[in-house]
Amino acid sequence: MLKIVPGQAFPLGVSEVDNGINFAIFSQHATAVTICLSFNERIDDRTLEFKLDPDDNRTGDIWHICIQDLPRKNVLYGYRIDGPQGWHHGHRFDDRIVLLDPYAKFVEGRRYFGGENKSSGFLGTYDFDSLPFDWGDDYKLPNILEKDLVIYEMNVRAFTADESSGLASSLRGSYLGVIEKIPHLLELGVNAVELLPVFEFDELEFQRHPNPRNHMINTWGYSTINFFAPMSRYASAGGGPLNASREFKEMVKALHGAGIEVILDVVYNHTNEADDVYPYTTSFRGIDNKVYYMLDLRNNGQFLNFSGCGNTLNCNHPVVMELILDSLRHWVVEYHVDGFRFDLASVLCRGPDGAPLSAPPLIRAISKDAILSRCKIIAEPWDCGGLYLVGRFPNWDRWAEWNGIYRDDIRKFIKGDCGMKGSFATRVSGSSDLYKVNNRKPYHGINFVIAHDGFTLRDLVSYNVKHNNANGEGGNDGCNDNFSWNCGFEGETEDANIRALRSRQMKNFHMALMTSQGTPMMLMGDEYGHTRYGNNNSYGHDTALNHFLWGQLEARKRDHFRFFSEVIKFRRKHPHLFSRENFLGENDITWHESNWDNPESKFLAYTLHDGNGEDVYLAFNAHDYFVSVSLPSPPTKRKWFRVVDTNLESPQDFVLDGIRGIGSTYNLAPYSSILLKAKLENELL
């Protein structure tokens, strides 16, 4: 017989105390709270339920209970919560539903990704039995300077889910699968991975009711169920939440051992619980909807939707803010992650009524937090309500930003749009117009041409318009402003000239990205030219459309991949040129340009100086004709050596030691770029 005592209000969630297991949950507006315990895999007739007494088991807005003689592991728990039924006042209580604890550190649901049990619920569990994870005596954090990061955006499952990964079926799509492929990341040359969401999410959420998207599986994961628990179905062999936690740590430890940092893409702007049309009550909505979500109380308590996903988390409410801070600290302390990228971070800059805040409390708290202070902190500085804050995100000189303006300007110039030369120059030199404010640095701009949403790099040069019919939304989803160019034919083609031009353009984009001031980020799969066949919003396809195709990588290892890898390594080998701490001054760069005001001019050349004569000359030709370039004189006692010419085929497109014999002019091919390095005759690069 279990013995019940009142328990304590803190910490929230489950904790082990001297006289048992303590459970504590916040709900300001609840009138009744019942804890449900199960020793099976689900809540059923054998579930134990204990109703909490508001007089004994409530302190302020915290409901709590301590249960003695409970097992220290393998117990599932949830809550039934009742309260006011006035939807027009913002309440959504329903005590028929067993709710997941927002502070649960482990979440039990179905065991296999995309498994058959579509109606599986999600319950908290705990483990006070296992020994602490052994990080190792020689373990240490990479502590890479922000200016030196080269970020690889990737999806844990998609990285190894395909059979071509060569992994055992039990490892495919798992945290352990990532470990097996660390040699690829090292060969590519990146030193940080930015993981698409790894918080617990329901990949089968589209299949809960008949709808045009019920054929899809949420493979990106932007639909958080719980902010503390690692995605349990990324465990190997259906191992469940405790194994998922351990294997996540093993992945982080292995990546750190290889000198690769781990940044998490986190979603605090909305949750999985949708809207009032198709509500999906699993946690926050049923615990205290009026606190956790932004509501329009002047319009019958309807959800405000700045996320595009039906609801918006009330991030700057003190209770919600503390939940977010606690979860971020948990990932740093317990899992040793190195940083976070905040999805639709402009939502975090809104007050409870949705109005923008000039000094958002949550953003400031993250900036100043003692534990989070060592982390990389990156904002996606826009939301679906039109709050576009690129270059203006409240930052306390700590926050970096996804530079969406960089993406658009680089795309437009490389594909040959008129009037883009000045903007292109501003972007590759560090976007000082956006970030040269107070103590911000060039590396606070996260430069990218491609990200998970939008075209892949290959599709950017193969499609003029999106092809999203497979998503079931009539082609209405996904961005329409892609600034792409198909190079003369829409989609796949055998035309050798078009294929060569596309290859050249992909190399041009990569060259611009990796030689720009600021922090570069590339997308998984672009290193071999992955295509989604024009789908620019592939969030719901757990197929080869999103999976990394290792066979294609192998086929392109000697040309496309080789070029991408060599350019990354060249950047990292020359931080004094490309990864500067401060914005470029007049002694750091020379623009070889007298034609700035001509909108028809699509050629740009410049020299980066390092102060020791090891200069680099770069030129980009976005014209459809050859340009004869008059080269500047190299530094004293040095000569120009050609390292890169994207018009040449592998291995001549990148020659590490450089090709000598460069004269006073260079004939630069249409849609191509070059990099020349100044060096002594017998000097190695």
Tokens matching residue 228? 């503390």
DSSP characters for 82-128? E----GGGT----TTSPBPPTT-SEEE--SSTT-S-TT---EEEEES
Rounded to whole angstroms, the Cα distance separating 563 from 527 reads 9
Tokens matching residue 201? 């999410």
Exposure letters 607-620 (e unless 16+ CB within 10 A, then b): bbbbeeebbbbbbb
For residues 575 and 608, the answer to whether their CB atoms sit within 8 Å is no
Active site residue 383: no
| DSSP label of 314 | -
Count CB atoms within 10 A of the CB of residue 6.
16
Which residue, chain included where needed, has tokens 């956006």?
A: 434
Widest Cα–Cα separation across the chain: 91
Query: Which 3 state secondary structure label does DSSP give 134?
Result: coil
Q: Quick check: bond before 651 cis, omega within 30?
A: yes
Rounded to whole angstroms, the Cα distance separating 509 from 400 reads 22
Tokens matching residue 332? 């740093």
Active site residue 380: yes
Rounded to whole angstroms, the Cα distance separating 472 from 211 reads 9
Rounded to whole angstroms, the Cα distance separating 340 from 247 reads 20
Rounded to whole angstroms, the Cα distance separating 347 from 321 reads 13
Rounded to whole angstroms, the Cα distance separating 507 from 512 reads 9
Rounded to whole angstroms, the Cα distance separating 330 from 350 reads 24
Q: Quick check: bond before 102 cis, omega within 30?
A: no
Residue type, 77: Y
Count CB atoms within 10 A of the CB of residue 188.
19
Which residue, chain included where needed, has tokens 């999985």?
A: 272
Count CB atoms within 10 A of the CB of residue 71.
12
Write down the catalytic residue from 153, 203, 380, 408: 380
C-alpha distance across the termini of the chain, in Å: 74
What CA–CA distances, in Å, run from 592 to 121, 630, 631, 678? 63, 9, 9, 16
For residues 389 and 382, the answer to whether their CB atoms sit within 8 Å is yes
Rounded to whole angstroms, the Cα distance separating 340 from 88 reads 36
Task: Please report which helix (H) or strand (E) contains residue 36, including its range.
Answer: strand 32-38
Tokens matching residue 18? 């001297």
Write down the catalytic residue from 162, 247, 288, 343: 343
Task: Please report which helix (H) or strand (E) contains residue 158, including its range.
Answer: helix 156-160
Tokens matching residue 20? 């048992």
| DSSP label of 374 | G
Tokens matching residue 398? 């700590």
Tokens matching residue 297? 């109380």
Q: At what angle do helices 421-428 and 496-515 cross, to 10 degrees?
A: 50
Closest among 387, 339, 343 to 366, alpha carbons compared: 339
Q: At what angle do helices 496-515 and 560-573 cross, to 10 degrees?
A: 20
Write out the catalytic residue numbers.
343, 380
